[in-house]
Amino acid sequence: STAARLDARRLHLPRMPLAEQRRYGERFRELAAFEEALRTAERLGGVLVQGMYDGLTDGTVTPA
């Protein structure tokens, strides 16, 4: 086999200044919060639509 071996001790990882790391961290937190808000809106929207179906079916909601 000609598989190459990776020596992790020789890897060079770019280093980001702490202030920039914090900015990235804040953006990731904001994005995660936005994603959770979208998931909540999806769940609530589903409940609303189901309620409208139920209301139309049982007569508590009338078509306008």
Does residue 41 lie within any of the structural domains? yes
pLDDT in tens, 7-23: 888 888 889 999 999 99
Does residue 38 lie within any of the structural domains? yes
Does residue 11 lie within any of the structural domains? no
pLDDT in tens, 27-36: 999 999 999 9
Does residue 10 lie within any of the structural domains? no
Question: Quick one: pLDDT at residue 53?
Answer: 98
Does residue 42 lie within any of the structural domains? yes
Does residue 7 lie within any of the structural domains? no
* pLDDT score of 2 more than 80: no
Count of domains observed in the chain: 1
What range does the domain containing 28 cover? Answer: 19-58
26-29 own/partner pairs: CB under 8 Å, 24+ apart? none
Which residue blocks in the chain are alpha helix, DSSP H?
Answer: 18-58
Does residue 50 lie within any of the structural domains? yes
